[in-house]
């Protein structure tokens, strides 16, 4: 959490950050894991099956097991899984550390294809134990290169229930720090042979600084189909796209609504919750506003997952029930009982009551004194109409209890949109612009008040919004004279200019069809005629273009039609970087490793086909002589400047069973690969080279079967200084603070991690 204030913790960051890095977070000083108010509250509600409450509480006091997820969409996923099972898991099973026996890691039974694993080890053990140092280095390195995500088990559930297809347009409303966003990206790229899926992910977060953490997570996956934006989720702007020459509203096929919450399901790792937990229920107002905004932007037939890491029904079923009631049949809870076989869960509850911090209970809104009406709202109580309550099917909600499968506590519900929301039917979605001198054009309705006018607690600790929350949702426009509203109808408020917070971002400038920069690139790399050159962009209007990025055609459409409507933090994947030495070869831009798999279907020249031994030379030596390559690769490299090394799939035992693409540069007598350090380590592990530096700094160890000629693997990390300097220079260019056009604004620490892809 670093320098974030306590107030910021209680804002939209609360609850979500806690579970996304489960089991791997920083340790706590000894805190007494007792909270009588918590125990009394959940005992009284009866949410835990009879006879299991003590087991439930014991599980809450135990440390959360560490879990990892293998990035499922990359072609290397099977190689990583093989490496884990055959080497690292075998090395650590049956170990005993500080009196604790280390159990063999086990796959999560409900996660597809053995892509997620858990163990009884804590992060502290993994970091501190010399016996686990190799495993720890493996996890850190593979996480940085995007092949593994360290994520709590229950946090993996919502993306699975969305049932993502590659053509889906997806909105992640409260996305930071981004582990679930990474899952969504993986699902879009299920077919690695398609570099530009038709779908995309727009990942949003209200906290400007946390958006850069989100960028760092997304960048590991090198996708051209992700955009990070910075808005208050409860009034995120409605976007428009160009469809067959006409402006149309962008509705999303899938929405992840993982709202901020009290986080009492995270007590196993966020131990601070034990002493801070109370029954303050003011979070619900924000949760409901975010959920309402989500279903407004959901396409008819689309799915929205609502989730929290709280077990409190006021933050869970009460929100869903209020949403279903307001929808007047437009929404329906989906039955997901068969979607994740092996996952143990409890059905949602249909009755609950509310307790104040003083221990006073209320079972109905009519019992609440008027003095408490600003803190306790009617939507916090269960529906009294038994017929209407039965129609909600709240039992289809899913409650995950910690003691059932040794996880955190979690709640998830899947909503399907059957028809437009009733308030969207009453007002036009797109209003005429001729009477409006402000920006565009969409009416963004809010939930009608329940009973009397609701006082919104803008500045409360649980409000979780900054000053943006006081603004009208961007895109909400009068469109017509405000005085013309029919009597008794709640029309949209006047539009206000969008107020931006945080750091100034560089522009996103798409290259023109005849841009001279691209002309030389196209001829130099002999790009195929179907290369989507209009999707190439840079981050500066003036001066030399230092990096070129690519987005999908669909994200280009979104960017071009909404530049004044949304604050974009980052989008695209870097595909070319300026290299002054390249001008003598006829092109000033070299390939970037981040975008090599995006570009590879279109590049038809400057390709060297290499063997396994060639790859070992390129990755273990900084600037090897050309003569060190095998004859075939040596002959191909003689006439090429910037190059793409391609290792084709070979069905030989002991060799990687997936293709490998690397980018590099040939000098006069030597050659090098422009591959980041952790990615080098990844490929070397696939080739059977042990990449390990012990704590005494003895360098890397090579595997017993490695040839003498490859001993350079032992000190590849130490020789990587020049590579790191280049990456550092790229980071400076990539920061979204105006570096490309000379801006002197600086970033905070969380923006230092290659924040422009």
Residue 577, annotated as binding a ligand: no
> Is 658 labeled as catalytic in the residue annotation?
no
Asked if residue 334 belongs to a known ligand binding site, the reply is no
Handedness of CA 374, 379, 382, 386 (dihedral sign): positive
CB 472 within 8 A of CB 235: yes
- Does 232 show up as a binding residue in the annotation? yes
Strands of the sheet with 148-150, listed across from one edge: 106-107, 116-119, 66-70, 148-150
Residue with tokens 């998830």: 412
Rounded to the nearest 5°, which phi and psi values hold at 726?
-65, -40
Residues 6 or more apart whose CB falls under 8 angstroms from that of 698 comprise none
How far is C-alpha 255 from the chain's CA centre?
A: 13
Contact 161, 184 (CB under 8 A): no
Cβ partners under 8 Å of residue 175, min gap 6: 181, 203, 204, 205, 214, 228, 256, 258
705 labeled part of a ligand binding site: no
Between CA 555 and CA 87 the distance in angstroms is: 41
Range 459-463, long-range pairs (CB < 8 A, 24+ positions):
460/282, 461/7, 461/10, 462/10, 462/280, 462/282, 462/283, 462/286, 463/11, 463/286
Of 309, 336, 397, 750, which residue is the catalytic one?
Answer: 309
Q: What is the distance between the terminal CA atoms of the chain, rounded to a whole angstrom?
A: 24
Rounded Cα distance between 13 and 628, Å, is: 52
Kindly state the helix (H) or strand (E) to which residue 319 belongs, with its residue range: helix 317-327
Query: What is the crossing angle of helices 133-144 and 677-686, to 10°?
Result: 120
Is 258 annotated as contributing to ligand binding? Answer: yes
Question: Would you tell me the crossing angle of helices 179-188 and 208-219 to the nearest 10 degrees?
Answer: 40
- The residue with tokens 């919750």 is 273
Q: Is 378 exposed, middle or buried (0-12, 13-18, 19+ CB in 10 A)?
A: middle
Q: Where are the beta strands (DSSP E) in 583-698?
A: 589-591, 607-609, 642-647, 660-666, 671-673
Q: Following CA atoms 455, 459, 464, 465 in sequence, which dihedral angle do they give, to the nearest 10 degrees?
A: 90
180 is in an annotated binding site: yes
Q: Known binder of ligand: residue 481?
A: no
Nearby residues of 172 by Cβ (< 8 Å), 6 or more positions away = 180, 181, 184, 201, 202, 203, 204, 255, 256, 258
515 is in an annotated binding site: no
Question: 21-30: buried (b, 16+ CB within 10 Å) or exposed (e) per residue?
Answer: bbbbbeeeee
CA torsion sign, 81 to 83 to 89 to 90?
positive
Q: Give me the helix-helix angle, 36-45 and 53-61, nearest 10°.
A: 140
Long-range contacts made by residues 85-94, C-beta under 8 angstroms, separation at least 24?
88/134, 88/135, 88/138, 91/134, 91/135, 92/121, 92/131, 92/132, 92/135
- Residue 113: left if φ>0, alpha if ψ -120 to 50, beta else—which one? left
Q: Where is the binding site, in residues?
A: 174-180, 205, 232, 258
For the annotated catalytic residues, the residue numbers are 309
Q: Where is the binding site for S-adenosyl-L-methionine, in residues?
A: 174-180, 205, 232, 258
């Amino acid at each position: 959490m670093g320098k974030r204030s306590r107030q910021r913790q209680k804002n939209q960051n609360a609850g979500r950050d806690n579970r996304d890095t489960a089991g791997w977070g920083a340790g706590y000083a000894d805190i007494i894991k007792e909270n009588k108010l918590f125990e009394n509250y959940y005992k009284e509600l009866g949410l835990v099956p009879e006879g299991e409450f003590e087991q439930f509480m014991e599980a809450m006091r135990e440390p959360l097991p560490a879990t990892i997820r293998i990035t499922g969409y990359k072609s290397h996923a099977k190689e990583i899984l093989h490496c884990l099972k055959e080497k690292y898991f075998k090395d650590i099973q049956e170990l005993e550390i500080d009196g604790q026996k280390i159990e063999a890691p086990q796959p999560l039974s409900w996660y597809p294809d053995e892509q997620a694993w858990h163990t009884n080890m804590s992060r502290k053990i993994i970091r501190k134990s010399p016996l686990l140092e190799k495993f720890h280095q493996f996890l850190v390195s593979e996480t940085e290169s995007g092949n593994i995500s360290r994520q709590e088990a229950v946090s993996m559930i919502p993306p699975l229930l969305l049932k993502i297809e590659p053509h889906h347009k997806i909105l992640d409303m409260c996305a930071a720090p981004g582990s679930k966003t990474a899952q969504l990206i993986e699902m879009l790229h299920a077919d690695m042979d398609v570099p530009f899926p038709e779908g995309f992910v727009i990942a949003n977060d209200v906290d400007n600084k946390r958006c850069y953490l989100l960028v760092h997570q997304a960048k590991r996956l090198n996708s051209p189909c992700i955009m990070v934006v910075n808005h208050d989720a409860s009034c995120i702007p409605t976007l428009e796209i160009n469809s067959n020459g006409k402006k149309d509203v962008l509705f999303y096929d899938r929405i992840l609504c993982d709202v901020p919450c009290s986080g009492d399901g995270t007590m196993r790792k966020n131990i601070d919750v034990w002493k801070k937990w109370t029954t303050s229920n003011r979070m619900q107002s924000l949760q409901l506003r975010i959920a309402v905004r989500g279903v407004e932007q959901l396409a008819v037939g689309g799915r929205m997952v609502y989730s929290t890491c709280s077990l409190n029904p006021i933050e869970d079923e009460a929100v869903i029930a209020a949403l279903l009631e307001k929808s007047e049949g437009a929404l329906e809870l989906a039955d997901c009982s068969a979607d994740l076989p092996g996952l143990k869960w409890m059905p949602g509850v249909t009755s609950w009551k509310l307790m104040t911090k003083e221990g006073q209970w209320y079972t109905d809104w009519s019992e609440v004194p008027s003095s408490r009406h600003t803190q306790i709202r009617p939507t916090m109580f269960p529906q009294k109409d038994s017929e209407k309550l039965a129609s909600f099917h709240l039992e289809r909600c899913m409650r995950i209890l910690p003691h059932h499968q040794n996880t955190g506590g979690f709640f998830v519900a899947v909503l399907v949109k059957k028809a437009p929301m009733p308030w969207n039917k009453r007002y036009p979605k797109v209003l005429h612009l001729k009477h409006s001198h402000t920006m565009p054009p969409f009416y963004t309705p809010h939930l009608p008040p329940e009973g009397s006018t609701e006082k919104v607690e803008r500045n409360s600790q649980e409000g979780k919004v900054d000053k943006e929350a006081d603004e009208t949702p961007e895109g909400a426009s009068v469109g017509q004279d405000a005085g013309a509203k029919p009597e008794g109808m709640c029309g949209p408020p006047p539009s206000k200019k969008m107020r931006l917070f945080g750091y100034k971002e560089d522009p996103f400038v798409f290259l023109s069809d005849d841009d001279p920069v691209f002309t030389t690139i196209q001829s130099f790399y002999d790009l195929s005629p179907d290369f989507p050159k209009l999707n190439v962009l840079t981050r500066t209007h003036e001066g030399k273009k230092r990096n070129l990025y690519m987005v999908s055609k669909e994200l280009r459409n979104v960017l071009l039609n909404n530049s004044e409507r949304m604050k974009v933090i980052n989008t695209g994947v870097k595909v070319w970087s300026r290299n002054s030495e390249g001008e003598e070869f006829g092109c000033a831009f070299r390939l970037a490793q981040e975008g090599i798999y995006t570009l590879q279907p279109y590049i038809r020249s400057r390709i060297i086909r290499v063997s396994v031994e060639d790859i070992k030379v390129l990755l273990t030596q900084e600037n090897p002589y050309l003569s060190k390559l095998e004859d075939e690769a040596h002959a191909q490299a003689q006439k090429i400047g910037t190059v793409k090394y391609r290792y084709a799939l070979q069905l030989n035992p002991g060799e990687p069973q997936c293709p490998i693409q690397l980018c590099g540069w040939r000098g006069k007598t030597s050659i090098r690969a422009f591959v980041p350090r952790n990615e080098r380590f990844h490929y070397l592990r696939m080739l059977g080279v042990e990449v390990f530096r012990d704590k005494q700094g003895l360098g890397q160890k090579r595997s017993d079967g490695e040839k003498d000629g490859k001993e350079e693997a032992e000190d590849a990390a130490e020789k990587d200084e020049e590579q790191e300097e280049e990456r550092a220079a790229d980071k400076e260019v990539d920061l979204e603070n105006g570096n490309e056009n000379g801006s002197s604004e600086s970033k905070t620490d969380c923006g230092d991690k290659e924040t422009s892809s």
